[in-house]
Amino acid sequence: DGGITQSPKYLFRKEGQNVTLSCEQNLNHDAMYWYRQDPGQGLRLIYYSQIVNDFQKGDIAEGYSVSREKKESFPLTVTSAQKNPTAFYLCASSIAPEGYEQYFGPGTRLTVT
Amino acid sequence: SQQGEEDPQALSIQEGENATMNCSYKTSINNLQWYRQNSGRGLVHLILIRSNEREKHSGRLRVTLDTSKKSSSLLITASRAADTASYFCATDGRNTDKLIFGTGTRLQVFP
């Protein structure tokens, strides 16, 4: 059963703590993405990776970090430097970076208090 | 940066009616895609239309693209309560390898 998974679905953290969100895909896709969605808003790109061991900043990368050590996995760390981390985080993947549909995970809702 | 702007922001209709959503964008594109998002869930891809295409159909969905006006429309015919969701357009620009999403249209279909 192919797909893209994110865990956990809900995550609560205290301010000042780093937190890592998991994203795994078994679709054999080269490209993976992290988006942030705030209530009633569209998606904003945080980081993306076109190939293993390579990634690029998106539009709102400050306060976030990623790694792409394996093709299947693209974890996102929300650091204490992110000023407003409470949001819905979506991971996606696609066969290739350009011109193809993206497959999305179910999302992780992060609440930082 | 958000290139796409959907219109209207919200739309309420009765089951069986047609729903039309519009998307405008700013720069030249390779492709335009439409996605659906149910509340609190991930996005689901609906349809992709390339810049050299003018119209595309998929089941009850019809998408048009007018590159001269930098706009696209998504028509859902014979709507159902299960179509209730937010709908986003996303553009794949000529000078970028990223998708840029619009702000979305919230569709409510009443039974």
Quote the distance between the C-alpha of residue A37 and its chain's center.
11
Confidence band, pLDDT 50/70/90 cuts, at residue A61 = very high
Sign of CA dihedral B49, A30, B44, B93: negative
Cα radius of gyration (chain B) = 13
Q: Are A66 and A51 in contact (CB under 8 A)?
A: no
Quick one: which of B93, B95, B92, B90 has its CA closest to B5? B90
Which residues from B are below 8 Å from A93, CB to CB? none
Which residues from B are below 8 Å from A42, CB to CB? 2, 4, 88, 101-104
Q: Using beta carbons and an 8 Å cutoff, which residues of B are at the interface with A? A: 1-2, 4, 30-31, 33, 35, 40-45, 48, 50, 88, 92, 97-104
B92–A99 CB contact, under 8 Å: yes
B30–A92 CB contact, under 8 Å: no
Amino acid letter, A35: Y
Q: Are A25 and A4 in contact (CB under 8 A)?
A: yes
- Whole-angstrom Cα distance, residue A77 to residue A21? 6
A42–B88 CB contact, under 8 Å: yes
Which residues from B are below 8 Å from A110, CB to CB? none
Tell me what pLDDT residue B92 has: 86
pLDDT, tens digit (0-9, with 9 covering 90-100), for B61-86 = 999 999 999 999 999 999 999 999 99
Q: Are A107 and A56 in contact (CB under 8 A)?
A: no
Quick one: which of B90, B107, B77 has its CA closest to B11? B107
Tell me what pLDDT residue A39 has: 86
Low-confidence ranges of chain B (pLDDT < 70): 1-3, 94-95
Q: Are B69 and B13 in contact (CB under 8 A)?
A: no
pLDDT of A1 strictly over 80? no
Q: Give phi and psi for B24, each to the nearest 5.
A: -120, 150
Which residues from A are below 8 Å from B51, CB to CB? none
Tell me what pLDDT residue B60 has: 98
A109–B40 CB contact, under 8 Å: yes
pLDDT, tens digit (0-9, with 9 covering 90-100), for A13-44 = 999 999 999 999 999 999 999 999 998 888 99
